[in-house]
């Protein structure tokens, strides 16, 4: 079954980007993709298109993995980011994860790419669904709060009208008894 996937690739090597795309096609993804190399190109891609996931090299000329993370987070996007690189050590990979990357994959170990993407897409879907449920719950709670306020106002109004009607009736009943 063909699965649609909109992937933004932040990579200065066209050959490396092609390897990533080949892995995704082998997994039967129908791809909409764009490769960017600079912060300006990435900003344009983030501002003008919707993406399902970002795959990013860590080391780019004049631009790096931490800047990629920052650009995504500054826009408030819940967009999974997987760093795919071959030139960083374990400490840098850990720093990248702490900064907000969802995963780190070595270019020499691309067999992890598709499972990592599928996991991150599922987690992003879960987060989106949770936010929708929370928004629905918040709206329902607001409706309930308003309904309770309406009930209070209605009860006060009924009490006031009842009092206003009882006062003349009491006078009339008193007059009739005399």
With tokens 């932040």, the residue in question is 10
User: Domain of 62?
Assistant: 3-131
- Catalogue the long-range contacts made by 43-49 (C-beta closer than 8 Å, 24 or more residues apart): 43/71, 45/8, 46/8, 46/71, 46/72, 46/75, 46/77, 47/75, 49/6, 49/8
Structural domain total, the chain: 1
Residue 149 lies in a domain: no
Residue 175 lies in a domain: no
For the entire predicted model, the pTM comes to: 0.76
pLDDT digit string, tens, across residues 55-95: 999 988 888 888 999 999 999 999 999 999 887 788 888 88
Residue 142 lies in a domain: no
User: Stretch 120-134: mean pLDDT, rounded?
Assistant: 93
User: Can you say how many angstroms the Cα of residue 50 is from the centroid of all Cα atoms in its chain?
Assistant: 12
Question: What is the CATH number for 108?
Answer: 3.40.50.2300
For residue 169, what pLDDT band results from cuts at 50, 70 and 90? low
Residue 167 lies in a domain: no
Q: According to the model, what pLDDT value does residue 155 have?
A: 82
Residue 172 lies in a domain: no
With tokens 């791809």, the residue in question is 31
């Amino acid at each position: 079954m063909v699965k649609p996937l909109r992937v933004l690739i932040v990579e200065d090597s066209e050959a490396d980007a092609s390897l990533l795309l080949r892995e995704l096609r082998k997994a039967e993804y129908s791809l909409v993709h764009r490769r960017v190399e600079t912060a300006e190109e990435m900003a344009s891609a983030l501002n003008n298109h919707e993406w399902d996931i970002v795959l990013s090299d860590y080391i780019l000329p004049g631009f790096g993995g931490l800047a990629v993370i920052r650009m995504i987070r500054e826009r408030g996007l819940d967009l999974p980011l997987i760093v795919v690189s071959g030139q960083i050590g374990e400490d840098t990979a850990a720093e990248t994860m702490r900064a907000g990357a969802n995963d780190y994959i070595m270019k020499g170990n691309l067999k992890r790419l598709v499972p990592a993407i599928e996991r991150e897409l599922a987690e992003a879907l879960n987060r989106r669904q949770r936010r929708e449920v929370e928004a629905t719950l918040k709206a329902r709670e607001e409706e309930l709060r308003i309904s309770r306020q309406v009930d209070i106002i209605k009860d006060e109004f009924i009490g006031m009208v009842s009092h206003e009607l009882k006062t003349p009736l009491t006078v009339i009943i008193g007059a009739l008894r005399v």
